A and B are shown apart, each in its own frame.
Chain A
Amino acid sequence: MAETAAPTLPARTRSVSRKPDVKRDVSTFTGLAHLGLIIWAVATAGPLIWVVLASFKSNTEIFLGSPFALPKSFSFATYVSAWNTAHIGRYFFNSVFVVLISTAGTMLFGSMAAYVLARYRFIGNRVIYYLFVSGLAFPTFMALGPLFYILKGFGLINTYTGLILVYIAYSLPFTVFFLAAFFKTLPKEIDEAATVDGASHTRKFFQIMVPMARSGLVSITIFNIVGQWNQYLLPVVILQGEGADSKWVLTQGIANISTSAGYHAEWSTLFAALTLAILPMIVVYAIFQRQIQAGLTAGAIR
Chain B
Amino acid sequence: MRHGKYPFIIGFLAVPVALYVTFVVAAYFQTFRLSLTGWSGLGPIKNVGFANFVSLWSDDLFWKSLRHNLVLLILLPIITIFVALIIAFLLNVGGGFRGGLTRGVWGSKAYRIIFFFPQLLALAIIAVIFGRVFAPDQSGLLNGLLPTKSAQLWLADGHIALACILAVLIWQAIGFYVVLFSAGMGSIPSEIYEAAALDGATRIRLFFRITIPLLWGTIQVAWVYLGIAAFDAFPLVNIMSVDRGGPDGATSVLSLMIYRNTFELSHVGYASALGVVLFFLTLTFAALTLRVTRRDTVEL
Contacts and interface: CB of A to CB of B under 8 A. Distances in A.
Interface secondary structure of B, over-half rule: helix
B9 A150 contact: no
A243 interface: no
B138 to A, nearest CB: 4
Interface residues of B, number: 109
B132 A115 contact: no
A171 B40 CA distance: 29
Given A116-B12, A237-B263, A289-B113, A30 B121 contact: no
A221 to B, nearest CB: 15
B31 A146 contact: yes
Report which residue of A12, A50, A138, A231 has the largest number of chain B beta carbons within 10 angstroms of its beta carbon: A138
A120 B5 contact: yes
B278 interface: yes
A22 B44 CA distance: 78
Interface residues of A, number: 106
A10 interface: no
B279 interface: yes
Interface in A274-300: 274, 277-278, 281-282, 285, 289, 292-293, 296-297, 300
Interface of B: 1, 4-6, 8-9, 11-13, 15-17, 19-31, 34, 41, 83, 86-87, 90-91, 94-100, 105-106, 111-125, 127-133, 137-139, 141, 143-145, 148, 171, 174-176, 179-180, 183-184, 198, 203, 218, 221-222, 225, 228, 231-232, 234-235, 238-239, 254-255, 258-259, 262-263, 268, 271-272, 274-276, 278-279, 282-283, 286
Given A51-B132, A300-B180, A301-B183, 7 more contacts: A33-B94, A37-B111, A43-B171, A112-B16, A122-B6, A232-B124, A293-B112
Q: Which 3 A-B pairs have the closest CB atoms?
A: A142-B275, A33-B94, A230-B122
17 contacts: A9-B99, A37-B90, A51-B129, A51-B132, A65-B143, A109-B19, A116-B13, A143-B31, A145-B271, A146-B34, A149-B268, A150-B22, A173-B20, A230-B125, A281-B121, A301-B183, A301-B184
